[in-house]
Chain A
Amino acid sequence: MIQGVQIELISADRLTNLTTMERIRTILDSVMLGNIVVLEHGLTPDEQSMLIEVTMREIRPGGFSGIEMETYPGKEAESGGLFGRLFKGKKPRQGRMTVIGPAGQLKMLKIERDRLVAWASLTSGG
């Protein structure tokens, strides 16, 4: 029997039409099934904060132990001065391509500004 890890690539379009909680559930439900999820565009900082919170509430001793999540380090925050900040507004920063998988199954080997190297185990805890 062929064993493997299912990789789910989620387009930016698919997530755009979902609410924050729907996005988080889509990602987390898939990861809890043992899949590795790759988001074309990452999550906003607020969504990341919610993802951590919801992940914590799903952790069960002896069962789901959380997520491994990696994205490229972002660029320095831009500051346009007071005028710019007041009137231009700041676009909510969308993350870059992001990989999310079950903790213990996904390991990041190398994280650089423009390159991620990941390793996925067929079994959890590996």
Chain B
Amino acid sequence: MSMFTRAKKRLGKFFQNIFRRKRSRIGIYGPPNAGKTTLANRIVRDCSGDAIGPVSEIPHETRRARRREDVVITGANGNTLLLDIVDTPGVTTKIDYHEFLEYGLEQDEAISRAREATEGVAEAMHWLREDIHGVIYVMDSTLDPFMQVNIMMVGIIESRDLPVVIVANKTDLPDAAPSRIKSAFPQHPVISLSGLEGTNMEELYDMMTEHFR
């Protein structure tokens, strides 16, 4: 890409930020079972009294990107923000239907879940490249943050110049170590919370109103 094209692209982004769009589309991304749908439900419930989708301990419960329009986020600082929230399938590089058999699913059901999950992940990647203006990246704070999918996804988000807030989720669990996520990604804001219990959501809303404007 020439220097001129690069400068033009950056100027475009600069002016886009000055004349901000009225409504941003925020994608909730992360690996499977990080608690993305639980968090999406919590945000949507807090802000509109509704839910976005079902949750399950079986990975890949969310197999299609789901969008909730016109969610109004209000921070404790008084700032408000109108958003579309997009809950996406967990991003991974592998899906084996045998994994679902371990959760008691019948073979046909497991195969069909695997097929839908592969389509869902491909779709989520496509959304990220084409239709998302900002990202809430959700990690399970009981797990190693240096999982390849986290490193790769944060790199992809950075390369697209998308604003990102990282959520260190599941702080209600005894093994939670959100500080590991903060040390792994010091270049981004990290909010520790429990989507399940709804703790520390105010800090997330404050960060969202500052970061996704």
Contacts and interface: CB of A to CB of B under 8 A. Distances in A.
A35 interface: no
Contact of A67 (B91, B93, B158): B93
B contacts with A: majority SS: helix
Interface string A36-77: 000000001110111011011101011001111111011011
Nearest to A102: B94
Interface stretch (B119-127, B133-141, B174-182, B200-208): B119-127
Contacts of B125: 49-50, 52-53, 56
A45 B128 contact: no
A86 B7 contact: yes
Given A48-B152, A61-B115, A86 B96 contact: no
Contacts of A92: 159
A70 B94 contact: no
B147 to A, nearest CB: 9
Interface residues on B, range: 35 or more
Contacts of B95: 56, 59, 65-66
Contacts of B111: 61-62
A5 interface: no
Contact of A59 (B3, B11, B118, B186): B118
Contacts of A49: 125, 128-129, 156
Given A61-B114, A76-B187, A44 B159 contact: yes
Interface in A68-91: 68-71, 73-74, 76-77, 82, 85-87, 89-90
A111 B134 CA distance: 29
15 contacts: A44-B159, A45-B160, A46-B129, A48-B155, A49-B125, A53-B122, A55-B94, A56-B119, A66-B94, A66-B95, A68-B94, A69-B152, A77-B187, A89-B7, A111-B148
Interface of B: 1, 3, 6-7, 10-11, 14, 91-97, 111, 114-115, 118-119, 121-122, 125-126, 128-129, 146, 148, 151-152, 155-156, 158-160, 184, 186-187
Interface of A: 44-46, 48-50, 52-53, 55-57, 59, 61-62, 65-71, 73-74, 76-77, 82, 85-87, 89-90, 92-93, 95, 103-104, 108, 111
